[in-house]
Amino acid sequence: IKVWDAATGECVATLDGLSRAVNCVAVFPDGRRVVSGSGDKTVKVWDAATGECVATLAGHSDEVWCVAVFPDGRRVVSGSHDKTVKVWDAATGECVATLAGHSDLVNGVAVFPDGRRVVSGSSDKTVKVWDVATGECVATLAEHSNYVWSVAVFPDGRRVVSGSWDNMVKVWDAATGECVATLAGHSGNVIGVAVFPDGRRVVSGSVDQTVKVWDAATGECVATLEGHRGPVWRGVFSAVFLVVCYLPGF
């Protein structure tokens, strides 16, 4: 894992010590730590300045495919090919909850702004919303016709967005489980979604090598960003900047 200075392009830290491929990373709210999920079945927390691994979270029985950090920075959530979602204490490394209910691989996870709920997307074609305190699945969102590969939560916590291998992006009411919008326009699998900080727009990345920006209220595609030479894998926001990455040969 490499940490880069966005202004200079300099690599400021290399986080090393994993025996298998790094599948996912996320940054803590304070910017001082990074969490990763790996093919070695572990979740690791790293000091971004020193490059030291400060915690190894072990408990998954298959590779870890997605990670996210709670808004307070105290907990981490991970999704695995073992079909479970796990919530961890970032300081102690203790698994504080295992959310079981998916019947296939968990590909995407996200945390609600209040930190009380987690959302997951799976190859079982569903999106699930979980109560972290009880471990209960409080909603199953099931209208995709293929793998759900990525999920994100709107800033107000009222809606969830998902991207699927059915080429669709869907917006859901998190309370009722109703699909309130289907954003159609990609010609390939959707493998990354994110929500703009103002909650008015959604961005998606696809195997069709494009990034699309959508009006969340109308479902209209307001921009198509082209130029990648491979599938667009992830999209994240930092202040007003959109950062995307692509994976050649996926």
Q: Which two tokens stand for residue 63?
A: 């590779």
- Tell me the C-alpha distance between 148 and 142, whole Å: 10
| CA distances to 43, 88, 234 from 30, in Å | 19, 18, 21
Query: What pTM was estimated for this model as a whole?
Result: 0.90
pLDDT confidence tier of residue 246, bands split at 50, 70 and 90 = very low
Neighbours of 180 (CB within 10 A): 15
Residue-level pLDDT at 19: 82
Residues 47 and 54 sit within 8 Å (Cβ to Cβ):
yes
Residue 193 in any domain: the answer is yes
Number of domains in the chain: 1
Residue-level pLDDT at 220: 96
Residue 124 in any domain: the answer is no
Strand locations in 8-158, DSSP E? 11-14, 22-27, 33-38, 42-47, 53-58, 64-69, 75-80, 84-89, 95-100, 106-111, 117-122, 127-131, 137-141, 148-153
Residue-level pLDDT at 240: 34
Question: With 50 as the cut, is the pLDDT of residue 245 above it?
Answer: no
Residue-level pLDDT at 248: 46
Residue-level pLDDT at 230: 57
Q: Which domain holds residue 227?
A: 145-250
Residue 37 in any domain: the answer is no
The average pLDDT across 36-50 equals: 95
Tens digits of residue pLDDT in 146-192: 999 999 999 999 999 999 999 999 999 999 999 999 999 999 999 99
Return the CATH number at 235: 2.130.10.10
3-state secondary structure of 88: strand
Residue 250 in any domain: the answer is yes
Residue 215 in any domain: the answer is yes
Tens digits of residue pLDDT in 119-128: 999 999 999 9
Residue-level pLDDT at 163: 96
Neighbours of 24 (CB within 10 A): 21
Residue-level pLDDT at 6: 79
Residue 234 in any domain: the answer is yes
One-letter identity of residue 125: K
Residue 249 in any domain: the answer is yes
Residue 129 in any domain: the answer is no
- Tell me the C-alpha distance between 51 and 47, whole Å: 5
| Residue 96, C-beta contacts closer than 8 angstroms, at least 6 positions apart | 75, 87, 88, 89
Tens digits of residue pLDDT in 209-244: 888 999 999 999 999 988 666 554 554 443 333 344
Residue-level pLDDT at 28: 96
Tens digits of residue pLDDT in 62-117: 999 999 999 999 999 999 999 999 999 999 999 999 999 999 999 999 999 999 99
Residue-level pLDDT at 64: 98
pLDDT confidence tier of residue 17, bands split at 50, 70 and 90 = confident
Pairing assessment for the beta strands 75-80 and 148-153 based on DSSP bridges: unpaired
